[in-house]
Chains A and B, each alone.
Chain A
Amino acid sequence: MNYAAAMVVRVGVLAVILLLPACGTVNITSTRDAPAATAHPKQTQVNDLLMQVFVHCRELRMFRSDTGYEQLQIDVANDDFRQRNLAWRIDWLDAKGNVIESPMSVWKSCSIAAGGMATLSSVAPSRDGVDFRLQVRRSD
């Protein structure tokens, strides 16, 4: 009987320990389940980079604005049980692969709640910008 009671207590404690990290995590729902029309195949490369900071790329979209500037949106999801902070920077490249220097290419910070998502977005500094280079650094 004592052994059974101890087991119940142990299982209870274990359940509480397992459930505690889930407290405060964000739940996400969306009306869209298909990839965006502007989804980009470079998502895999970005995902390889982001996995090193314990988050991952859900979708990468690239599209040209009405004014002719390339726009970039990277959906980043945090599947961890705790808040994740990261610093990121995007440099734009022209068709020849040269970096387009601009005061718009700066380090920015991003904080993603446990289970939540954030979108890293950027606009090319000139109409010549067709490719990008993403740098990510873990802040926590």
Chain B
Amino acid sequence: MKPFNSLAATMSAAGLFSLWGCGTPARPIETGGTESITSIDDVDMQDINKAASGMLESLLVQGTLSGGKNKPAQLVIGTIVNDTSSRFDVGEMTYRMREQLVNSGQAAVVTTYGNNPEDATAQDAAKREAFLKGQTSVPGVDPDFSLTGKITQVKREAGNVRQATYTFRLTLTNLRTGLEAWTKVVDVTKQGTKNAIGF
């Protein structure tokens, strides 16, 4: 019986060690791909991708940007408030939109406009250049539209099932008329008891 006990103990130990080694080693996955983690209480990369894609599709179909005085339309990215409990940079969405709009020649983003410009150094340099030339405003900068928005959430529970709806809303305002020229809402709803890998 003793040799048997010894063998069993050895096998148990080996089993435990091999279990210790089990796990998921880190590996690259497609950003926003179907293997991504799906969280209930957080905005995920795939949610941001979906929102940016939905916004862009609507903008292209409506053709609002082609109605600006400038060709391509000059666009100021205003404040987009993240009013959710999930911590992420709204730039994740806006930069994806900018990439498409700017690179396809739909819009030119003005980064040197207003009291809170994206690029204060460039604004200072442009103002200085205009001052030295005796101009009252920076030539070439004449925005047609400003983009503002808000991301909100509605959370509910039933038993141990949690549900969260994240609403992405963007508005394009015509800066010459002060009127809303385009608006779009994209919802993302997730439900479950715990976070999961993949969707």
Within 8 A of A (CB), among B50-73: 50, 52-53, 56-57, 60-63, 66
Q: How many residues of A contact B (CB 8 A)?
A: 21
Q: A102's contact among B30, B33, B63, B100, by CB below 8 Å, is which? A: B100
Within 8 A of A (CB), among B16-34: 30, 32-34
Which candidate, A12-20, A39-47, A120-128, is the interface stretch facing chain B? Answer: A120-128
B63 touches A67 (CB 8 A): yes
Report how far A71 CA is from B52 CA in the complex, Å.
Answer: 17
- Determine the main DSSP class of A at the interface with B: loop
Nearest-neighbor residue (CB-CB) of B57 within chain A: A123
Q: A71's contact among B61, B63, B97, by CB below 8 Å, is which? A: B61
Q: B66's contact among A67, A71, A108, by CB below 8 Å, is which? A: A67
Report how far A137 CA is from B104 CA in the complex, Å.
Answer: 30
B1 to A: closest C-beta gap in Å: 51
Q: A125's contact among B32, B34, B100, B199, by CB below 8 Å, is which? A: B100
B135 to A: closest C-beta gap in Å: 36
B61 touches A125 (CB 8 A): no
Report if A106-B66 is in contact (Cβ < 8 Å); known contacts: A65-B61, A69-B61, A125-B60: no
A125 touches B63 (CB 8 A): no
Q: B34's contact among A66, A71, A102, A137, by CB below 8 Å, is which? A: A137
B57 touches A106 (CB 8 A): no
B100 contacts across to A, CB distance below 8 A: 102-104, 125
A104 touches B61 (CB 8 A): no
Interface mask (A127-140 → B, CB under 8 Å = 1, otherwise 0): 00000000001010
Report if A139-B50 is in contact (Cβ < 8 Å); known contacts: A66-B63, A103-B100: no
B76 to A: closest C-beta gap in Å: 20
A139 touches B198 (CB 8 A): yes
A91 to B: closest C-beta gap in Å: 12
B62 contacts across to A, CB distance below 8 A: 67
Q: How many residues of B contact A (CB 8 A)?
A: 23
Nearest-neighbor residue (CB-CB) of B103 within chain A: A102
B46 within 8 A of A: yes
Nearest-neighbor residue (CB-CB) of A71 within chain B: B61
A54 contacts across to B, CB distance below 8 A: none
Report how far A126 CA is from B62 CA in the complex, Å.
Answer: 14
B128 within 8 A of A: no
B176 within 8 A of A: no
A106 touches B198 (CB 8 A): no
Tell me the A residues contacting B by CB distance below 8 Å: 65-67, 69, 71, 87, 102-109, 121-123, 125-126, 137, 139
Taking A106-B49, A123-B61 as given, write out 19 further A-B residue pairs in contact, using a Cβ cutoff of 8 Å, ordered by the A residue number: A65-B63, A67-B62, A67-B63, A67-B66, A69-B60, A87-B199, A103-B53, A103-B56, A103-B97, A103-B99, A107-B33, A108-B46, A109-B199, A122-B57, A123-B60, A125-B56, A125-B104, A139-B34, A139-B199
Sample (6) of A-B pairs whose CB atoms are under 8 Å apart: A103-B53, A106-B50, A107-B30, A121-B57, A123-B61, A126-B104
